[in-house]
Amino acid sequence: MITIGSLSLQNRLILAPLAGYSNLPFRILCREYGAGLCVTEMISCHGLVYNQANTLRLLASCCSERPVSFQLFGSDPAVMGEAAARLNSFSPDIIDINMGCPVKKVTKRGAGAALMTDIVNAEQIIRAVVASARCPVTVKLRSGPDLRTINVKEFARMSEAQGIAAVALHGRTWSQGFSGAADWQIIAEVKRTISIPVIGNGDICTYAEAMQRIAQSGCDAAMIGRAALGNPWVFNPGDKPKTLQGVLRGANRHLCLIEQYSANPGQTTASIKNHLGRYFSGLRGSSAIRKRIYETKSWESLQGLLHTISQESTT
């Protein structure tokens, strides 16, 4: 078990924030398959404060996914504070501050990983969010701006001093993006530097690997991103099924949750195809299945296709 501020999680495995993927249906699925906590896609503080429809859509939540962490991004302390205040009415269990996203559209405005170059502004943002939030606040960091400047220990100490309840750390620098390998040594060092929980993140592919990383680094929890796509079983000791029928059960449940929790499932057809295709990777005939998924034109035909694939495999 791990405790973040006043919140106790059932276990030490957390679904990472994944823009375009960690929406409500996928978060519920990951909770059902064993994740102790899921983080939303990043939410723009400006979008929230100016009531932009695309941003407000990201705030959808429900009882069965609780606890949930809402992730905010932005670079203006006042707007971040105002956004956190507005989030209160959506009852987040945790508010997470994004200081790790390397995407240009985010960093060119000084937000995400760019904050790792400006500890003064980062501190003001943390202060503003902690002052407004009615729940524990966490921060998601990278190891530093680049390999010559590994400054995350300084950021971690500052975060703890400003009332942050836990630190998540992706063991890569901003300039690395997703290249190279995540540095779990720095995660272990940060754990030894501060007293609040540290959540390690980067390159975990299986449940066993997550447990090993926690044991070796001494960190309190592991956050899993890419390996969870098409693979909610990663949160479970049993790992991904090796049979088509086993994998189809997960894929069908995912579609079922989309149907239940999306205002217009048809609108999600294009975006879910890529995610759905990932369920079948590693299985015999997976590229043919992915091709068939991409060729579907509607939500109904996507649902029908999974049914057909299931029947074909039993005849």
Ligand X SMILES: Cc1cc2nc3c(=O)[nH]c(=O)nc-3n(C[C@H](O)[C@H](O)[C@H](O)COP(=O)(O)O)c2cc1C
Residue written as tokens 């949930």? Answer: 68
Shortest Cβ contact with ligand X: which residue? 225
Among 18, 45, 139, 187, binds ligand X (CB under 6 A): 18
Q: How many whole angstroms separate alpha carbon 238 and alpha carbon 249?
A: 15
* Interface positions, 271-290, toward ligand X (CB under 6 A): none
53 binds ligand X (CB under 6 A): no
Least distance between ligand X and beta carbon 249 (Å): 24
Tell whether the torsion through CA atoms of 268, 271, 275 and 277 is positive or negative. positive
Among 14, 16, 126, 152, binds ligand X (CB under 6 A): 16
138 binds ligand X (CB under 6 A): no
Q: Is 133 left (phi over 0), alpha (psi -120 to 50) or beta?
A: beta
- Closest C-alpha among 189, 211, 191, 209 to residue 199: 191
* Interface positions, 224-263, toward ligand X (CB under 6 A): 224-227
100 binds ligand X (CB under 6 A): yes
152 binds ligand X (CB under 6 A): no
Least distance between ligand X and beta carbon 258 (Å): 18
- Closest C-alpha among 271, 296, 209 to residue 26: 271
189 binds ligand X (CB under 6 A): no
Least distance between ligand X and beta carbon 57 (Å): 14
Q: How many whole angstroms separate alpha carbon 15 and alpha carbon 67?
A: 12
Can you name the residues that pair with 149 across neighbouring β-strands? Answer: 146
Using a 10 angstrom Cβ sphere, with 0-12 exposed, 13-18 middle and 19 or more buried, the burial of residue 253 is middle
59 binds ligand X (CB under 6 A): no
Among 69, 71, 138, 217, binds ligand X (CB under 6 A): 71
List 30, 101, 135, 219, catalytic entry: 101
Residue 202 is encoded by which pair of tokens?
Answer: 């980067």
Catalytic site residues?
101
Chain residues that interact with ligand X, rule: CB under 6 A: 16-21, 41-42, 71, 98, 100-101, 140, 170, 201-204, 224-227
